[in-house]
Every structure is written in structure tokens, then in C-alpha cells.
Amino acid sequence: MIPAAFDYEVAESAEHAIALLGEKEDAKLLAGGHSLLPAMRIRLARPSVLVDIARVSELSYIREDGDAIAIGALTRHQDVAHNVLLHAQCPLVSYAAGLIGDPQVRHRGTIGGSLAHGDPASDLPAVILALDAELVVRGAGGDRTVPASEFFTGVFQTAVGPAEILTEIRVPKLGSAGWSYVKLSRRAQDWATVAVAAVVERNGSISKAAIGLTNMGGTPLRARAAEEAIAGGASIEDAVKLIPQGTSPPSDQAASSDFRLHLSTVLGRRALEEAASR
């Protein structure tokens, strides 16, 4: 299908983009376009104005910032996947970015676009949740920092307001923590049927774990019950039985809800075991 008519503006800076967004209530940002343009073609999205921020180079970077790694929102997935600093300090993010779509998607798609889209089947949101990352959102009044636990508010909904843009993602340095991201999909380039991100701290055995879930509800989720069980001394085998608690996975052409519930425990065990072994 053909999209509904729209105007097109090219932003010269983050502030220019914010100003353009403020002029029309239904304006939308365009970066890589992999989520927005297909929705426009079938008219699920009908913005009156597209604000193209792809040329705002100030939002494309990866740099060390104290105990965190700061990633500009317009950094391409390919750059995230191959960045030396991330490989050394927070390899979970670079590894997950390398699993997104296919090479064409990774060369055009951006980390900020993926997160701001808020798709619960996307790879990076669950990873960001498991890392307890922070996201910097900029509006006319300046910057504000949103914890990952508060960023995803509903299906395709985030804490980014209509006249705001996501500018930066801050992920922690993992140090000695173990990590894993285990994903199952029907084809290599498909969305995850289910995926599990795990970050663990070890003192002989796992003493603490953060577990992020992909495609197990209307937003990316943390498996809090399983995390609490591990903190209380439960084994991986016992803890993974609690991963489905609080989830509401969809049924679709890829899998039924019941299968996703089962799959989350299988992938959860693999993720925790792999993280514990790193």
C-alpha cells in the first residue's frame, strides 16, 4: 500500500528536531525507518509530518563516561555490535545488537529507534532492562534521565513524550559479572519468539541475577520472582520455574502463549547457565 500524504522536514540538530516536533501534534521522528515506514505503508501510522534526524551526527557516538558507557541514540546497530569499548566493558549490548535482523537492517537501524519504538518482541529492550540502564530524553525544557524500569510503558509506548527525543542510552560496565542473551526465532532475521537476557554476579555460585524477557508481554519484562529466588539461594533449576510468573505472552503465527511460557523456562535456564560460566 501507499502511505497517506505527509510533509517532510530534515532536522539539523537535536534542538531543531524538538522544535519541529512541537509544531505538529502528530509529527513523528524518522531515523532508520524500519518500524515506522512499514506501519505507514499499511496506514497503521499516519503522521502529518516526518522529522528526519538521520543526519544529526551529534547523536551518534559510543564513549566511556565514568562507570557507564554512553551510547548516542542514533548509533547504528552495526556500530554497536562491533564497537571495541562495548566488547570490553558491556559485551551483552554489542552481542544482542549483532543478532538484530539482517546486515541491511543493522546498517540502517539505530539503537535509539529500536528502544523508542517500544516493541516487546525487539531484542534490545529486554537487554537494557536486565542491565538497569538509564535513558536520556530531551525536550524543550532540557534533559531528563529515565531508568529502564520506567521507560517502557505499554505496547509500542515509552516514556518519550510527543515533543521529546531519546538522545542517549547509558549502560553499566559489567566488570566481572557474567552475561548472556539467548534467543529463539523461526528464521534468523525474524523477531524473537522468546528471548532471555541474563546478568549475574557470582560468589562461587550465582548470588544475584537480573533477567530480562523478550516477547513475554505487552512490554519487555523482568523475571522478578526468579531473580528473588536466586537472591534467596535457590538453584537455577528451581528459579527458572518462576520465570513465567507475571507474564502474559501472546499467541500468534510463531507460537502459542502456552509454548512461550514453556520456552521462557528453557531459554532462561540456558541464559543463566551461560552467564554463570563466563
pLDDT tens digits for range 61-93: 999 999 999 999 999 999 999 999 999 999 999
- Using alpha carbons, select from 112, 177, 165, 125 the residue that is nearest to residue 141: 165
Give which of 9, 87, 82, 16 is closest to 50, Cα–Cα: 9
Q: Which residue type, as a one-letter code, is found at position 39?
A: A
Does 44 have pLDDT greater than 90?
Answer: no
What per-residue confidence (pLDDT) applies to 4?
A: 85
| DSSP alpha helix (H) spans, the chain | 14-23, 36-41, 77-82, 84-89, 91-97, 103-108, 111-117, 123-130, 148-151, 224-231, 236-239, 257-277
42 pLDDT band (50/70/90 cuts)? confident
pTM to 2 decimal places: 0.94
* pLDDT tier for residue 139 given thresholds of 50, 70 and 90: very high
pLDDT per position as a tens digit, 180-199: 999 999 887 788 999 999 99
- The answer to whether residue 8 scores a pLDDT higher than 90 is yes
Cα 92 from Cα 13, distance rounded (Å): 30
pLDDT value of position 20: 94
Q: How confident is the model at residue 36 (pLDDT cuts 50, 70, 90)?
A: confident
> What percentage of the chain exceeds 90 in pLDDT?
82
Domains of the chain with CATH codes: 7-52 (3.30.43.10), 57-172 (3.30.465.10), 179-277 (3.30.390.50)
154 SS3 class:
strand
For the cut 80, the answer to whether the pLDDT of residue 1 exceeds it is: no
* Residue 101: closest CA among 212, 187, 215, 221: 187
Q: What is the pLDDT of residues 217-252, one digit of tens each?
A: 999 999 999 999 999 999 999 999 999 999 999 999
Cα distances (angstroms) measured from residue 129 to each of 52, 161, 206: 28, 20, 19
Q: Which long-range CB contacts under 8 A does 257-262 form with residues at least 24 apart?
A: 260/193, 260/194, 260/215, 260/216
- Quick one: what percent of the chain has pLDDT higher than 70? 100
- pLDDT number for residue 273: 97
Say what the pLDDT of residue 39 is: 81
Mean pLDDT over each residue of the chain, to the nearest integer = 94
What's the pLDDT band for 204 if we cut at 50, 70, 90? confident
